[in-house]
Amino acid sequence: MNDLRIILDASKRIVFFGGAGVSTASGIPDFRSENGRKGCDGLTPEMILSKSFFYLETERFFDYYRTHMLYPDAKPNAVHRFLYELEKQDRLRGIVTQNVDGLHRMAGNIRVYELHGNVHENYCEECNASYPMEYILHAEGIPRCECGGVIKPNVVLYGEPLPKYVCIGARREITNADTLIVAGTSLAVEPAASFLEDFRGRNLVIINREETGADSRATLVIHEDVEHVFRELEDAEKS
């Protein structure tokens, strides 16, 4: 923890690259741990949350999506709060997140690159009208727009490409960072994990409970729960 504080204090262009482990303390399960999201009817979450399943089995998609992807009571935790403070100091240049829960924006951060979209944004496939998460949550069956079109969540489903301009912005910030913090991700999901290849800065920090493929080239590796680490940082700032 002392080494992490020294790195943070010396850094002027920090970028945070986060995965599902960032939000588990807010009550949002991940996909890969023992207590993570499970599939149903013999299908994996990846199969259900795919582009093809959305269009072929739309009602079944939304049955699963409402139960396993929408957490309206989730609130930012110590990770989100600490990153907001870093951005206010103008030392955090960007958050690149694989999460779709919107908690970074809820915490107040502006420089957020949501690689897989955001469950709070939904749009009609016919007229492009927008709808909040609550509309999807409380709709019965397939949520439909006033025009009759199907309302699709603005999340990247398996089989869909990542948003082009979000990726451009995220890779630009990673390239220009002096410190890159990778937290709460196994770095198993491509193409997002390949973004680390753009980093040319001084310090690569990995914070994750399990080993990752980037541990061997990191400046600092902390095998610990992400929220626990940032809660310690938050408490140290207050003392």
List, by residue number, the catalytic residues.
116
Provide the residue count of the chain. 239
Pick the closest to residue 32 from 103, 118, 98, 114 (CA basis).
Answer: 98
Cβ atoms 166, 98 nearer than 8 A: no
146-167 per-residue burial string, b: 16 or more CB within 10 A, e: under 16: eeebebbbbbbbbeeebbeebb
φ and ψ of 175, to 5 deg: -60, -35
Distance CA 159, CA 154 (A): 14
Cα 12 to Cα 88, 93, 205, 232, distances in angstroms = 12, 9, 15, 21
